Structure formats: structure tokens, C-alpha cells
Structure 1
Amino acid sequence: MRLLHVLPTLDPASGGPAQAVRQSTLALTRLGHAIEIATLDEPGAPFLLDAPAHVTPLGAGRGNYRFAPQASIRLRKQAPRFDAVIVHGLWQYHSFATRHALQGLSVPYYVFAHGMLDPWFKRTYPLKHLKKWLYWPWAEYRVLRDARAVLFTTEEERLLARQSFWLYRARECIVPCGTPAPPGDAASLRAGFLRAYPTLAAQRLILFLGRLHPKKGCDLLLTAFARVAQTDPRLHLVMAGTGEAEIVSHLQTLARELNVATRVTWTGLLQHDLKWGAFAASDAFVLPSHQENFGIAVTEALASGTPVLISDKINIWREVDADEAGFVAADTVDGTTANLRRWLSLDRARTERMREQARLAFATRFTIDAHVRRLLDVLASDRDVNA
């Protein structure tokens, strides 16, 4: 099967969609499928050098909407070579351009929503939501309506998506997301990370890995960490990720105000073996997000056997709770503190059992192979129906 992924950027720092495309492309290629990627990135962007497949430039997107006037024309020329087009995400020009480009062609397109229809955004950013309403009826509504299917990673995401806009019509399918296993043994990965950050070798690490963004609850985590830091003088928080300079500065100021600045390490973006090494070196992974469609970093932690301390606003929290692979609480300072204290209260035997449960949860629910099998099943069933 020949598939084209379309997304606004392949930059790993942009978050989930770019990572999902990179991982699924590698898995699909291993199965013998021909995959290409189309983005609105600058053609010479450095992160395209390690792209997992050929990248078709659609033109550099301008502004937050990433408008690229030639994108639709270029997509229309390329599309007939593919069996299907998969659009990743909404609210930027790539989704509208894809729908426009494929009108009148026999090539179907599918849309991965990636949590971008979650009503949390409506409640938290009402002015942005109002702005979206201005072009929802003639843009994203039609993108979803005309897609062969709109793909959600969990049942929870599917149900929440129906609450954001009253004008909503889509054929809905669930395709759980997946994560590859760590690319080596835990001891080697851990050693590589600690070589890069030798001062952390004697510490008991709590890891946050993701965008430094208000949605992720980073401020909650810093405050909760300050509450429990005296429990063990070896406790150390690793904040791995990037964000807007103003947000990062605010968080670092908060750490100083909470008197924990010397016990927090800001690594910036971690990729490849360093990322996996951070998971292997950490006692627990923490993500107190206010909204998280799936949480790829959560499944990466599970794959590494690292217990996860997460909020109940992450759409796979029920699976984590049922599998006893971590602790779940509200997306508040008190909830995040409760998760940390529950974890700190575990003895060695219970900690090791939770590590085993984390690995089991990953193996039974969240592998990248399971994701691509389900995706291919959806695509194949549609081809059979429309043959």
C-alpha cells in the first residue's frame, strides 16, 4: 500500500503528531508499505535530515495557520500516486489544503484528530475557540465531513470530540496509538544518559518529558515536587523538553521561588537514545496534564518499565489504572502531590511489581505494531467496501 502522511511540521519539538508520524512510518515501512510525508516546513529544516521517509515540500507555511498557497496544487499533483492520504491534526492549513486538493479524485483521505477536538480547549481558551468558530463551518467541519474516516486514538477522545462544536459530522473510527520499544537494553541506555548528565548519577530521578506548555501542568509538578522534596534529599526532578522562552523562564523562576531550583535539571529536548536513557534512569515519570489525547511519552515510559504518575485528563488513564502501571489523580497541585506521595510510600517489592505491570501494559496495549495493524485494517476494510 502507498500512503501519504500530511502534517504541518515534522519537527519533533512540536509534539505528538510529528512523533506519531515518524514512528508509524518506520513500522509501516518494515512491513513493506511505501510511505511518504508532506509538510509545510522550510525545505532545509535540519530536523528533516533524519526524516523516516521521503518528504514532499508543500511550501513553507506562514503564520500560526501555516498558510502555504501552493500546498493544494502540489498535493493534487502528488495524490494519484497513493492509495490513501492521512491528515494529522486540524486547525492549520494542511487539513483544508488536503480536502481541497482531493476533491474529484478517487484517492480517499483520513484525519487523525490527535486530540484537537477536545472541549478542554473551548473552556480554557474561549477567545481562540470563538476564532475557530469563524472558519469551522467552511473549513474544519467540511474536512471532517468529507474524510473517509476520522481516526481517534481512544473511545474517550471520540466521545469528547462531539462536545466542541454543535455542527459536527464524521465517520468515526478508533485506531489506538502506539510506541516502539526502547532500542537497546535498559542498562546501556541508562549509562548513556548518565554520561551526558553525570551529576544525576547519585540522584533518585523523577522525569517530566514533553513540551513545556501550560497544558502539561508543569507548574503543578514544580509545586508538588517542592512539597515532597524533603522526603528524600536524593529526589531530583528532570524537566526534559522545550517551550516558548517566556514559558520556560516563568517555570524556572517558579522553581527558584519554591527553593527547589538546585534540585531541578532542565535538559531541553531529548531525542533517540538520550530520551530512552532518561526513562531508564528515572524512578517514575510524571505528567499532570490538563488535557492529553493519548500521551505518547506515557506509553514510552511504560515501554521502559517506568511507573507513570498521571492526571485523569490523559485519555489512557483508565488503562493505566486498570493495569496498576502507575497512579492517577486530578490535574491539580493536590492531585499531583498525592501521586508523588503514593509512589514515595512504596517499598522495593511493590515498586518492582509496578515496573513489571508497566511493561505488561505496554506489551498488551500500546505497541507500535498493534497501532499499524489496526490502521491497516481500517484502510483495507474501506478499500474492500469501495472496490
Structure 2
Amino acid sequence: MNPKNGGPSQGIRNINPHIRKLGIEVEVVCMDNCMDNYDVNDDFVIHKIGQGRSSYQYHPPLFDWLKENALNFDVLIVHGLWQYHNLAVYRTIKFLKKKSRIVPKVVIIPHGMLDPYFQKDSDRKWKALRNEIVWQLIEKKCINLADAILFTCQEELRLAATTFKGYHPKKTINIGYGIQTPPQNSQEFKTAFEQKCITIQGNKYWLFLSRIHEKKGVDLLINAYCKLAVNKSTIPDLVIAGPIASNYAQEMIAMASKNSKIHFLGMLQGAEKWGAFYNCEAYLLPSHQENFGIAIVEAMACKKPVVISKNVNIWKEVQAGNGGWILNELNEAEIYNVLLAISYLSETQIIQKGVAAYETFQTNFNVQDRATVLVKVLNQL
């Protein structure tokens, strides 16, 4: 549940308040250490079981906790695959059934982890082999035993069926995904962002806000932007916000070091983050794979148009709502051309595109509507 670990934890925080308003009690069990402090005020119970061993997060105390507590719940929702928590839930249900007890329903939300990208990407050959082995030994049984597999968009549901042999879930349902409406824009947000990014000096800017990871296409974005800046020096600056402790992030900082218009800020939260969104010209995420992209939708909810690739599973919804620009191919030339076209738009045209982005958010990604759908699905299991 640490916010630094990416989207699923934020997705849980987004939807839980609305589930609870519909009369559902929510508790979260996670494999964080009990002393971990996220600096987030959560208003639901979190059970921190402790960190597991290896990247698989093997941790038998989780199985013990589930055996003792699972019967307190009507439904167990498993977020994500490829780690021990999925097996622990599977073993718990098998254990309880042997005792002839009524067991809770189990639903799994893969969060894009059944996307074929992870098995086909040339840089993931060993990880793909590992996943194939784990699929045959564990995950296939977990998926096929669960009462339902829930997806965050229709494209994710479609792609999941193409990745592994033996994929035969009982039910697959697109429940959609959403975010809470951002806080209303204020001068406080702008000030907080400008204090974080002093070098921006009031300049217009495009925003990349996400994990700085190979998957996100940061290298393609930087190279395309640098070429464009040479040919058109008046383009907006580029702000890149995300954790910078990794080796890859440091490589990206070094790659961009000769361009004073590129600013790396580290991870933004709270007022700084909303200030970054509300004051940018457009949000950019040329990702090689993105199941949903919470930050994309947060930008749209702030009335900002987005630039995304067709590897982002919500690209069809964004395109249908005219909420941004879709990269037909993911390469430097395509990013260059799209950014060049955006740079010639008037302020009025950018604002109009941002309004369309906001309307797309309201129609497709409002978390209140998604919570209603989720609760209805759970009640029908």
C-alpha cells in the first residue's frame, strides 16, 4: 500500500470511500512491514503482515492470517498476480473447503498483469520464462478457481485471453476503473509546484508524471523532445516527475543533462502534484504498456489533454472522446511529429482539447460510477 509502489494502491484508495458509502465494509491486508509509514491518512483498516522473501514475496504468515480471518469477509479481492499473495488466497479457499465451510467469494483484478506485452518484450525473456513456469504451476489454478476476473477496461479483458494457454476463468467482467475528482484548482497548488520546480520560472511546460521506468518510454520522449527543441526553441519546457533513485532514472537524467528546458523533479505528491497537473499544457505518457494509467486520467480530470500510445489500454476511450492525441506508432519520429503539431496550436485550441478530456473523464472514469458497478458485480456473484 506504499504510494511509491505504483497504481494499484492508489486505485484502492480512490474507490474505497465510495464502496463504503454503498454500505460495504472494507479492510486491506498487504505485505508491508508494520512500522511502514506512508504519510497518507487512510480511513480504512490496513493489516500489515510483513514483507516476504525474494521478488515473489513468499511469506507464510499471510497464509496463517487468511486462515484465521478469511471467514470474516464475504468477498476476497486479490489485486495483481505473480506473487505469493495470490497463492495464499488459493490455498486458504482450498483449506476452508476441506472443513466443509461456506467460503468467501474470490475475485482477482490483474491490473494489466495478463497483458501479452510482458511475455513478448525482448528485454524480458527470462522474466517471461519465469512467468510461464509460475503460470503452469500456480497462477493458472488461481485464475480458473476464482469466482470472477475483473478488468479495468475492455481492451485489458480482450488482451488477457491471448497470453497463456489454459486460461479458462469462470467469469470475466469489465468493471472499468476510475479516480476521485481532483481538488479544485487553487493558487496554493501553483505555488507548491513552482517552489518544487524553481527552474521552470513561469515557462509553459509539458508534463510527464509517472514512474521513471523503461516501460514508460521516457528515453523516446527525451530524444524526441531534444530534437524538437533544436528545431523549434519556443516549445514548452518538459517536466519529468517521478522517483529518481533508480539506475534507469539516473541514466535518463544524464541523457537530458544538456537540455536546460528539461526538469527532473523527483516524486510529486499532494499540492505539488496537483499544481503540476493544473498548470501544464498537456500530459505525456508514451508507454510501451499501460493497463489503465491513473495519472493519465488525473490529468484529464484537471482539464488537460493527453498524449498516449496505443499500448495504453484506455486509448480507444480517449480517442473517442477527443481527449488527447494517440501515437499511432511508438517511436521518436511519431512523438516528435505529435509534439510539433501540438506546439502550433493556439491557447484556445489547447483549452478546448482539455475540456474534451475532462468530459471523457466524467463519462468513462468517474470513480463513483465505477464503485456502483463493482458493488453490483460483487452482489451478483
Structure 2 length-normalised TM? 0.93
Cα distance in 1 for residues equivalent to 2:181 and 2:201? 24
For the residue of structure 2 that corresponds to 1:203, the secondary structure is coil
1:30-58 deviation per Cα after TM superposition (whole angstroms, max 9, x unaligned): 44421111001111112176334211123
For the residue of structure 1 that corresponds to 2:120, the secondary structure is helix
Instruction: Tell me the residue number matched to 1:246.
Output: 247
Deviation at 1:188, TM superposition (A): 4.1
| Residue of structure 1 aligned with 2:111, choices 92, 114, 134 | 114
Instruction: Judge which range, 315-324 or 224-233, deviates more.
Output: 224-233
| Residue of structure 2 aligned with 1:101, choices 92, 113, 120 | 92
Instruction: Tell me the residue number matched to 2:373.
Output: 374
Deviation at 1:337, TM superposition (A): 1.4
Deviation at 1:286, TM superposition (A): 0.1
Instruction: Tell me the residue number matched to 2:12.
Output: 21
Q: Is the 8 A contact 1:153 1:176 kept in 2?
A: yes
Q: Is the 8 A contact 1:240 1:267 kept in 2?
A: yes
Alignment of 1:221 with 2:221, yes or no, is yes
Cα distance in 2 for residues equivalent to 1:193 and 1:246? 25
Mark the CA change 1:32 to 1:229 in structure 2 (over 3 Å): closer, same or farther: farther
Mark the CA change 1:50 to 1:297 in structure 2 (over 3 Å): closer, same or farther: same
Gaps of 5+ in 1: 1-9, 383-387
Instruction: Judge which range, 216-225 or 193-202, deviates more.
Output: 193-202
The aligned amino acid for 1:144 is I
Instruction: Tell me the residue number matched to 2:204.
Output: 204
Instruction: Tell me the residue number matched to 1:5.
Output: none
Instruction: Tell me the residue number matched to 2:131.
Output: 132
Cα distance in 2 for residues equivalent to 1:341 and 1:270? 27
For the residue of structure 2 that corresponds to 1:75, the secondary structure is helix
Cα distance in 1 for residues equivalent to 2:354 and 2:194? 20
| Residue of structure 2 aligned with 1:317, choices 310, 315, 318 | 315
Aligned positions of 1:72-221 closer than 5 A? 72-103=63-94, 104=97, 105-124=102-121, 125-170=124-169, 171-221=171-221
Cα distance in 2 for residues equivalent to 1:200 and 1:379? 47
Alignment of 1:42 with 2:51, yes or no, is no
Instruction: Tell me the residue number matched to 1:54.
Output: 45
Gaps of 5+ in 2: none
Mark the CA change 1:234 to 1:199 in structure 2 (over 3 Å): closer, same or farther: farther
Deviation at 1:243, TM superposition (A): 5.2
The aligned amino acid for 1:122 is Q
Deviation at 1:236, TM superposition (A): 1.4
- Identity among equivalent positions (%) equals 32
Deviation at 1:183, TM superposition (A): 1.5
Mark the CA change 1:281 to 1:201 in structure 2 (over 3 Å): closer, same or farther: farther
Deviation at 1:169, TM superposition (A): 1.2
Cα distance in 2 for residues equivalent to 1:20 and 1:52? 15
Deviation at 1:359, TM superposition (A): 1.0
Structure 1 length-normalised TM? 0.91
Q: Is the 8 A contact 1:202 1:234 kept in 2?
A: no
The aligned amino acid for 1:176 is G
Q: Is the 8 A contact 1:187 1:280 kept in 2?
A: no
Q: Is the 8 A contact 1:12 1:18 kept in 2?
A: yes
Aligned positions of 1:328-367 closer than 5 A? 328-329=326-327, 330-367=329-366
Q: Is the 8 A contact 2:33 2:49 kept in 1?
A: no
